[in-house]
Amino acid sequence: MPRREMANLEFLQLEVHPQTSDLLALALVDGSGNVRTIRLEGMERNVELAEAEFVFEVTPDLEVIRPE
């Protein structure tokens, strides 16, 4: 859930690496044509996390869907 509503978002464009499908960048375009670009760099896959660094809490309004 976003912390606040994003005003006038017209569209979101994603740049994806053609071989790995890694997300490289996002471009957010508002109703006035302003573009905000976010580049993702230094991404690491399958990084080990200590149990203390990650807490998954299911609130009453969420449903967890598991593969069958």
Domain boundaries, the chain: 1-43
Q: What is the pTM of this model?
A: 0.56
| 40 Rama sector, left if φ>0, alpha if ψ -120 to 50, beta otherwise | beta
DSSP code, position 5: P
Q: pLDDT per position in the chain (68 positions), as tens?
A: 556 665 688 999 999 999 999 999 999 999 888 999 999 999 888 888 898 887 888 999 989 899 98
Whether 25 and 38 have beta carbons less than 8 Å apart is answered as yes
Q: What is the pLDDT of residue 6?
A: 57
| Residue 7, pLDDT score | 64
